[in-house]
Structures are given as structure tokens and as C-alpha cells.
């Protein structure tokens, strides 16, 4: 049976279960957003101690949150005719967040040691049945002929 607060809160819609569930979901989402914003406001006190990466992440988070909340507000009030600007701003923030993630991933990705990789490949291709053949060494740097060799008429 419906409780008295539901009757007064929803009025004629008190029997519409879908509407009530959507309303309760919206209320829970708003509470979660409020809690996240409280945490973000508490973090702002330490903003000057943040590293550059943390500041960028924080700024992107706040910008995206505020733009999203404004978009939700416009949608709930029925003013959806000129939301192109808001959607454009949200897309810019999303692309900034993707770029930030790429930079972080690039900084933390493992690097390949080329010389070590060549040694591993060479060792992996080694066949005990075949005699070990060394590559002939190429001459290093061409040397100038000495004056005595040039006078005697010796040629290379």
C-alpha cells in the first residue's frame, strides 16, 4: 500500500510506478552528484599543492561536472532548444580528458631496449646444429696513405 508521503509527493501520479522509480533514481543521482561536488570543494583547499597533472585532472573534472549539471538543468526545465553550445563544451572537455589520458599512458608505457631485443632474437635464432659463423668485420675508417707509400708508388 502507498505511504502517506508518496500520496502527497506524487499526487495524481502516486500509482504510476515507472514515474516513481525514475523520480527516485533522479533523486539518488542528484545526491551522488552533490556528494562528489562536496569532495571536489574540499579538494580545492589543497589545489595549490597539486602537481600539474592533478590540476589538469581536477580542472577537467570540475568543468565537465558543471557543464553536465547545466545540461541536466536545461533538460529538466524543458529549455532544450539551444543546447548546442553546452554539448560543444562537453565535447571539448571530453577531448581534453582523452588527451590527458594519452599523455599519462605515453609517460607510463614501457620502453623497448633495442640492443637487448636484438640479443634476445639472436639467441632465440641460434641453432646448435649449424656451425657458428661470425660476420666479417667491415673496415672501420679508411686511413690516409702515408707519404712513404705515396712516394714509392704503391697503390691500394
pLDDT of 152 reads 55
Per the listing, cell 500509482 goes with 15
Please tell me whether the overall predicted TM-score, pTM, comes out greater than 0.85 for this model: no
**Range with the lowest mean pLDDT among 21-25, 37-41, 118-122, 125-129?**
125-129
Query: Domains of the chain: which residue ranges?
Result: 7-45, 49-110
**Can you tell me the distance from the alpha carbon of 134 to that of 136, in angstroms, rounded to the nearest whole number?**
6
Cell matching residue 66: 558543471
Helix axis angle for 52-77 and 84-108, nearest 10°, is: 150
**Can you tell me the distance from the alpha carbon of 70 to that of 79, in angstroms, rounded to the nearest whole number?**
11
The answer to whether 58 and 43 are in contact (CB under 8 A) is yes
Phi and psi at residue 25, to the nearest 5° = -65, -40
**Range with the lowest mean pLDDT among 33-37, 110-114, 141-145?**
141-145
pLDDT of 148 reads 53
Cell matching residue 16: 504510476
* pLDDT greater at residue 53 or residue 6: 53
Question: Does residue 144 carry a pLDDT above 70?
Answer: no
How many CB atoms within 10 Å of residue 126? 9
Per the listing, cell 580545492 goes with 44
Cell matching residue 117: 631485443
What one-character-per-residue DSSP string does 79-129 give?
A: --TT-HHHHHHHHHHHHHHHHHHHHHHHHHSPPP-HHHHHHHHHHHT--TT
Share of the chain above pLDDT 70, in %: 75
Instruction: Kindly state the average pLDDT of the residues 116-140.
Output: 70
Segment (H or E) for 136: none
Question: Does residue 110 carry a pLDDT above 50?
Answer: yes
pLDDT of 146 reads 54
Amino acid at each position: 500500500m502507498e505511504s502517506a508521503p508518496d500520496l502527497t509527493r506524487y499526487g495524481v501520479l502516486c500509482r504510476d510506478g515507472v514515474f516513481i522509480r525514475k523520480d527516485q533514481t533522479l533523486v539518488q543521482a542528484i545526491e551522488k552528484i552533490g556528494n562528489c561536488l562536496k569532495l571536489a570543494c574540499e579538494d580545492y583547499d589543497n589545489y595549490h599543492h597539486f602537481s600539474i597533472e592533478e590540476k589538469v585532472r581536477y580542472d577537467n573534472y570540475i568543468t565537465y561536472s558543471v557543464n553536465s549539471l547545466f545540461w541536466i538543468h536545461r533538460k529538466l526545465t524543458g529549455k532544450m532548444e539551444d543546447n548546442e553550445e553546452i554539448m560543444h563544451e562537453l565535447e571539448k572537455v571530453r577531448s581534453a580528458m582523452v588527451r590527458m589520458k594519452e599523455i599519462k599512458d605515453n609517460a607510463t608505457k614501457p620502453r623497448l631496449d633495442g640492443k637487448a631485443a636484438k640479443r634476445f632474437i639472436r639467441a632465440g635464432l641460434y641453432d646448435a646444429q649449424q656451425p657458428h659463423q661470425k660476420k666479417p668485420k667491415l673496415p672501420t675508417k679508411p686511413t690516409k696513405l702515408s707519404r712513404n707509400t705515396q712516394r714509392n708508388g704503391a697503390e691500394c
